[in-house]
Structure 1
Amino acid sequence: MSILASTKSLWHRSMKHSSNGSVSESTETNSGQITLAVVGCGQRGQSYSRYALQEPGKCKVVTIAEPRPKTRARFTEAYSIDRTLVFETWQDLVAASAETLNTVGKRLADAVIVAVQDHMHVEVTLAFAAQGYHILCEKPMATSLDDCIRMEEAIRKANIIFGMGHVMRYSPYSQEIGEIIRSRSLGELVNIVQLEPVGYYHFAHSFVRGNWGNEGRSSFSLLTKCCHDIDIICHWLGPSTPSKVSSFGSLHHFKKSGKPAEAGNATRCLDCPIEQECPYSAKKIYLDPLAHGNTGWPIATIVDGLPDIENVNEALRNGPYGQCVYETDNDVCDHQVVNLEFSNGSTASFTMAAFTTLICSRQVRLHFTHGEIVGDMSKFTVSDFRKNSSRTHLPRNEGGGHGGGDLGLIRAFIEAVRTGRQDILGTDVSEVLRSHLTVFAAEESRLKGTVVDCVAYEKEARQRVAGDEGKEISAEAST
C-alpha cells in the first residue's frame, strides 16, 4: 500500500460523523484530546511521550518517525500506533502529512515533538512548521545562531504554539522560586550564582563518548548541556535582558595527554590493563550496574533494543561507548564559566564542571536586596534579612526527569495547544531565541577572549541572516 493510500485510509478511520452529518476529527470531539507526532523515539522523545500514557484523555501519540528498527518497534507497541503511521525517517512522515493535507485537508496530528539529534532540529522544525503543526522542540533550538533566527522567523510566520525543551523552567522547584522572585518579598534580585555539576561519568557518557562529544557532529557543550541553565537565569532576572557576557573554559582532561601511561596502547576499556582503577571505565558505567539490574539510563541509551548483557557487551566491544575516554575524537569543553551583566545592572555567574559526584543537581544562590535563596533542585532555603529568619522549602516532585520539569513542560505544552494560548508555556519563541543568543555570545567570548556586547551581537546576527535570505531570494529570481 502506498503512503498516500495508507494514510488516507487511517485518516478516514479516525473520522466520525457528527449529529448533523458533517465530518469532524475524532480528536476534536474526545474531550480536547491532542494528537501527537513524535520525531525521534530515544530518551527525550520517550520522556515527553510518557505523558500520553499517564493522561490518555489529554493526548495520544498517533504517528512516529524513528530510524532504529528495534526502538521503533518497541515504541510502536507501547503506544499502540497504527503501523501505517510508523515511519523510518522524518522525511517520510512529512511527505505522508503533505499528501494527507492535499487530499483531505488535515494534518496527521495536532502537534509534533521534535526529539532528533541537535543538528537536525532546524530542518525538522521548519518542515513541520510549514505544514502548520504546533511544535515542542528539544533543546537546544539549533546548533547555529543563524539557524535559531531562521526558526524564530518560521514559527512566527506559521503562527503556531512553540515549546522549547528548557525543562528547568517547569519543575515545581523552579516555579516556586520564580513566584518568590516575582512577589518581590525579598526585594530586588541583584545577583545569581549557579553551578551545573554534570557528573564525572555522565560527562564521559554524553560529552566524551556520546552524541555531544564532538562539536562538528553536534555543537559546543555550553549549548548542548547548559542552554537551559542560561535560560533559567535570564528568566529569573527578566524582564531585564543580558547586555554583556564573558566566558572562559577549555577541554582540560579528556584528551590523549590525560591518559595514564599504565594504560599503554589500549583504546578500549575491556582491553585496558588498568580498567579497574579508572573512574571512567565503561565496564563500571554500563556493565556493573547492568549486573545489578539497572537497565535504565545510561545503559539503555547505548543499544537499539533490550539492554541485556549480550547487547551491551557488543556495544562496548565495537561502539563508541567502549572507547577509552582519552582516545576519542571529543573536543568540547569539560569546564566553563560564564559571567553576565543585565540591562538593569544585575549580574550572574554560571559554572559548568564535568568533575563532580553530583549529576545535574544544580546548586544556586540568588541574592536579593533584602534576602537570599540557596537551593539544590530538590529543596531551597529562603532567608529574609528584615525578619532575621530562614525557612526551607521542599517542593513536590511529581517524578520523571529534572525534578518534574519534563512532566511540567509536556503538560503545559498540551494545554497550550488545546487552548491555543502560547502564554501557558510562560515564554515564546523570541524569548527562547534571546537566551540562545546569550549562549552563543558566551561562546564567542570564550573563543575570542573578549567581552561581548549582547545587543550588538544580536543586531549583527539578524543583519547577517537577513542578508543571506536576500541573496537566496535574488538567486531564485535570477533562475
Structure 2
Amino acid sequence: MKAALIGAGSRGFYAYGSYALQYPHEIQFVAVAEPNKEKREKFAEAHHIPENMRFEDWTELLEKEQLCEALLICSPDRAHYKPVMKAIEKGYSILLEKPMSPVPIETLEIAEAAEKHNTLLTVCHVMRYAPFYQALKEIVDRKVIGEVVSIQWNENVGYYHHAHSFVRGNWRNSSESSPMILQKSCHDMDMLAWLIGTECKSVSSYGSLTYFKKENAPKGSTYRCLDGCKVEKECPYSAAKWYLNDRDVWPANAISANASLESRLKEIQEGPYGRCVYHCDNDVVDHQVVNLLFENDVTVAFTMTAFTNEIFRDFKIMGTKGEISGNDVKNKIEINYFSGQKEMINPATVNGGHMGADTSIMVDFIRSVNEKDRGSLTSASVSAQSHMIAYAAEESRVSGAMVSLKDYVKKLKMTKEEVL
C-alpha cells in the first residue's frame, strides 16, 4: 500500500512511520508534508521519499492529483479539519489522529462528509485495537457478569507525562490545541461508550488547573530549569532530569528531531520544554471527574488525574452477576463472580505503542484499504459520537450544569443552521 503523511511529529514518525520501516512489504510512504524542516527531512530520509514529494505545507500535497491510496493525518489538533475535508474530496482512504477537531461542529461535518463520499476514515482511537481492551470487550459482551450496571474508570496520566505534554508541551493550552478531556481522555469516553454499547444520555463534570501555576512555584525557582534554579536538583519535574540523558525514548526523544545531547540542551535553553512547570502558559486542567448516564440506567464515574506515579488505566465494571477489575499496564483482568468463583486473565500482547494498539490499528487500516472495506471499528461516525461526550463534559465543567447529549448535539446543529 502506498501512503502519504501529513504531520511528521512524534505520532507520525514513531507510531505509524515506524510500522512502515518494520513492514515495508505492507506499506510504503511516498510523500510527506511537514512545516518543520528538520522533522520533514528526517522522515523523508528514513522512508526514501524523493525531494519532489517533500512538502512544507499540506496544501501543496493535496493540491496535486491523488498521489496514492492512503493518507495519514497526524498534524496538530487544530490542523485536522481542513486537510481531512480536502482529502475526503480527493478520494483518499484516511487515518486521522484524534481528536478529529477541537471544534464540535467540525467533527460532525467530518463525519457527514466521510459518509457522503463513502470514505474509509479511521480515527486513531487506538485503544479499541489494543489486545487488552479487545479481551475486555469480549468478556463484557459475553455477559459473564450479567448486565453492566455501573463502572468506575480511572485514567492515571502520570506526573511526568502531564508535565511533558500538558504543561510544557503541545497540548498545554486549550486555545492552541484542545481541552484535556478531549485531547487525552477522548480515548476513555470512546472506550466507555464502546464497552457499554448504548447511547450516553447526560454528563456532569468538575475539574480545574490546581497545581501547575505560578503561585505554587517553590522559592528559588526560575523561568527555566537551567537559569540557576535553586531547587532544580531535587525537583521531580526538572527538564535536565527528563531530557538531558542518552536514552532515545519518550519523552527525551520528543523535544528535538535530532537526538544528540547538544540539540536537546539547545531546546531546553530556548524551547518550551526547558521551562519551569510553574511558569508556563498552560491552562488545561490537571484533574477532572466526569459522571456519565447511559441508556438502561448504566452509570459511570470517571477520574482523570495528573498526580500519579505511573501511567496506566484501571477500572471496575460492576454487573448483576459479578464484577470485572483490571489494570492495563499490568495486563491483568480479574473476574469475581458472586458465586465465589474467580478468574484471572492475562490477554495476549502485541509489540508496539499503546500496548500494541498502534501496531494493531495499522494492521486493520492496511487491510481495510487493500480489501476496499469502507467500514472501521473507529469510523468517523462512531468516533464523532464519543467526541460529543467529551465536548459535553467540558461544557458541563465550564458551566457547572448537567448536559443532555441530545440537547447538546441539537443545539450545535441549530447554531450551524442559523449561521448558514
Is the TM value for this pair above 0.5?
Answer: yes
State the one-letter code of the partner of 1:134: S
1:459 counterpart residue number:
410
Match of 1:67?
35
- SS at structure 2 position matched to 1:123: helix
Aligned-partner SS, 2:25: coil
Q: Provide the secondary structure at the position in 2 that maps to 1:362.
A: strand
Letter in 2 for 1:220: P
One-letter amino acid of the structure 2 residue matched with residue 228 of structure 1: H
1:9 is aligned to none
> Which of 47, 56, 80 is the matching residue for 1:121?
80
Deviations 1:146-187 (CA, angstroms, capped at 9, x unpaired):
111121122122211011111110000000111111111221
1:399 aligned onto 2:399:
no
Query: How far apart are the structure 1 equivalents of 2:87 and 2:247?
Result: 37
- Once the two structures are superposed, residues 33-56 of structure 1 have per-residue CA deviations (whole angstroms, 9 ceiling, x without a partner) of x21111111111121122222332
Aligned partners of 1:427, 1:328: CA distance in 2, in Å? 34
**Does residue 421 of structure 1 match 2:379?**
no
Post-superposition CA distance 1:313-353 (Å, at most 9, x none): 11111111111111111111000000000011101111110
Match of 2:385 among 425, 429, 434: 434
Q: What pairs with 1:32-47 in structure 2 (closer than 5 Å)? A: 34-46=1-13, 47=15
Q: Is the 8 A contact 2:150 2:299 kept in 1?
A: yes
Q: 2:266 aligns with which of 314, 323, 338?
A: 314
Residues of 2 paired with 1:217 and 1:412: CA distance? 31
Q: 1:11-160 residue pairs with structure 2 within 5 A?
A: 34-46=1-13, 47-95=15-63, 97=64, 100=65, 107-160=66-119
Gaps of 5+ in 1: 1-33, 101-106, 472-479
In the TM superposition, 1:328-343 aligns within 5 A as 328-343=280-295
TM-superposed CA distance for 1:463, in Å, is: 2.0
Within 2, Cα distance between the matches of 1:381 and 1:131? 44
1:204 paired to 2:146: no
CA shift, 1:58, in A, is 2.3
User: Distance in 1 between the 2:238 and 2:110 partners?
Assistant: 40
Structure 1: distance between partners of 2:212 and 2:18? 35
**Offset at 1:447?**
0.5
3-state SS, counterpart of residue 367 of structure 2: helix
Question: How far apart are the structure 1 equivalents of 2:317 and 2:241?
Answer: 37
CA RMSD, Structure 1 to Structure 2 (Å): 1.4
1:466–1:159 distance in 2 versus 1, CA, 3 Å? farther
Following the alignment from structure 1 to structure 2, what is the Cα–Cα distance between the partners of residues 92 and 296?
A: 32
* Structure 1: distance between partners of 2:347 and 2:140: 16
The answer as to whether partners of 1:221 and 1:333 remain within 8 angstroms in 2 is yes
Hey, what does 1:174 align to over in structure 2? 133
* Letter of the structure 2 residue corresponding to residue 442 of structure 1: A
The aligned residue for residue 270 of structure 1 is 226
Distance 1:167 1:62 in 2: 24
- Is the Cα–Cα contact under 8 Å of residues 3 and 70 in structure 2 kept in the other structure? yes
Residues of 2 paired with 1:352 and 1:387: CA distance? Answer: 33
Write the letter of the residue equivalent to 2:18. Answer: R
Measured in 2, the distance between the counterparts of 1:55 and 1:408 equals 13
Whether 2:223 is the aligned partner of 1:255: answer no
Between the aligned partners of 2:296 and 2:54, the Cα distance in structure 1 is 50
1:9-36 residue CA offsets vs partner (Å, 9 max, x unmatched): xxxxxxxxxxxxxxxxxxxxxxxxx211
Q: Which residue of 1 aligns with 2:250?
A: 297
Who is 1:243 aligned against?
A: 201
**Separation in 2 of the partners of 1:48 and 1:462?**
34
> Which range is displaced more, 45-54 or 190-199?
45-54
Q: Is the 8 A contact 2:124 2:378 kept in 1?
A: no
Question: Which whole-Å deviations, capped at 9, do the CAs of 1:112-169 have from their partners, x for residues lacking one?
Answer: 1100000001111111111111111111110110111121122122211011111110
Taking the aligned partners of 1:223 and 1:427, their CA distance within structure 2 comes to 16
Q: Which amino acid aligns with 1:216?
A: S
Match of 2:334 among 382, 403, 420: 382
Residue 145 of structure 2 is matched in structure 1 by 186
Distance, in Å, in 1 between the alignment partners of 2:146 and 2:374 is: 29
Which residue, out of 198, 215, 224, partners 2:174? 215
- Aligned position for 2:315: 364
In structure 2, the CA distance between the partners of 1:427 and 1:71, relative to structure 1 (3 Å rule), is closer
Count of residues in Structure 1 that have an aligned counterpart in Structure 2? 417
The runs of 4+ residues in structure 1 deviating greater than 3 Å are none
Which ranges in structure 2 are unaligned for 5 or more consecutive residues?
none
Query: How far did residue 84 of structure 1 move?
Result: 1.9
SS at match of 1:262: coil
| Structure with higher RCO (Cα < 8 A, 6+ apart) | 2
What is the letter of the counterpart of residue 370 of structure 2?
R
Shift in CA distance, 91/460, structure 1 to aligned 2, threshold 3 Å = same
Alignment deviations for residues 203-223 of structure 1 (CA, whole Å, 9 cap, x no partner): 111101111111111121111
Maintained 8 Å contact 1:197/1:355: yes
CA contact (8 A) 1:48 1:410 kept: yes
Distance across 1 between alignment mates of 2:353 and 2:322: 30
Partner of 1:477: none
The C-alpha deviation readout for 1:203-255, integer Å capped at 9, x for no partner, is 111101111111111121111111111100010001x1110100000000011
Paired AA for residue 204 in structure 2: S
Q: What is the alpha-carbon distance in structure 1 between the residues aligned to residue 333 and residue 5 of structure 2?
A: 39
Q: What corresponds to 1:5 in structure 2?
A: none
1:386 offset after TM fit, Å? 4.9
Opposite residue 306 of structure 2, the aligned amino acid is A
What whole-Å deviation, never above 9, does each CA across 1:351-408 have from its counterpart, x for those lacking one?
Answer: 110111112x111111121121111114233324254222221122212111011111
| Larger gyration radius, structure 1 or structure 2 | 1
